[in-house]
Amino acid sequence: MPEQPEPTARHHFYGFEENESTPPVDTTMGYLGYPAAAAHPVGRNYAAMPSHGFGKICLSSCRYDLDTEFAVEYVPGDELDPHGFSGSGVWHSRSTGKVWSPQISLAGLVTSYYRTSQVLICCRVETLVGFLSANV
């Protein structure tokens, strides 16, 4: 397989800054993943199909650690089983002004789903930055 040119390869990574932080409750978040429920049959196998969604950071009654995790509404609910979003980035917009511009920032990673509360539980970006800084 041919090697990717340096400028292309560089765009496959997200650069963390040490002051990254998870936004407050009610911030709209976006996520993209490959849930098994969205897979399409191709012969005897299945093709993974991307799926995305948006939900707000919320406070949930399910059990999770507020210091290291946060909850995001999973709007599709039972319409699309979210298994396959695990490990997906959860992003928010930092754009300001009347016209949206693509200034997105990573807020965390999806780690689990609570069906009764219909929320995705996400690891906070501060936790990720701390872990990576300690292990680089």
Indicate the domain borders of the chain: 20-134
CA distance 113 to 122: 9
Report pLDDT for 12: 65
Enter the tokens of residue 117: 């509360």
Report pLDDT for 39: 81
CB atoms within 10 A of CB 51: 19
- DSSP state letter for 50: -
* pLDDT at residue 70 is higher than 90: yes
How far, CA to CA in Å, does 21 sit from each of 110, 126, 133? 16, 6, 15
pTM: 0.81
CATH of domain 20-134: 2.40.10.10
The least confident of 6-10, 14-18, 101-105 is 6-10
Nearest CA-CA partner of 13 in 132, 135, 114, 98: 132
| Residues of the chain above pLDDT 90, percent | 32
Q: Are strands 104-114 and 28-33 parallel, antiparallel or unpaired?
A: unpaired
H-run or E-run covering 69: strand 69-73
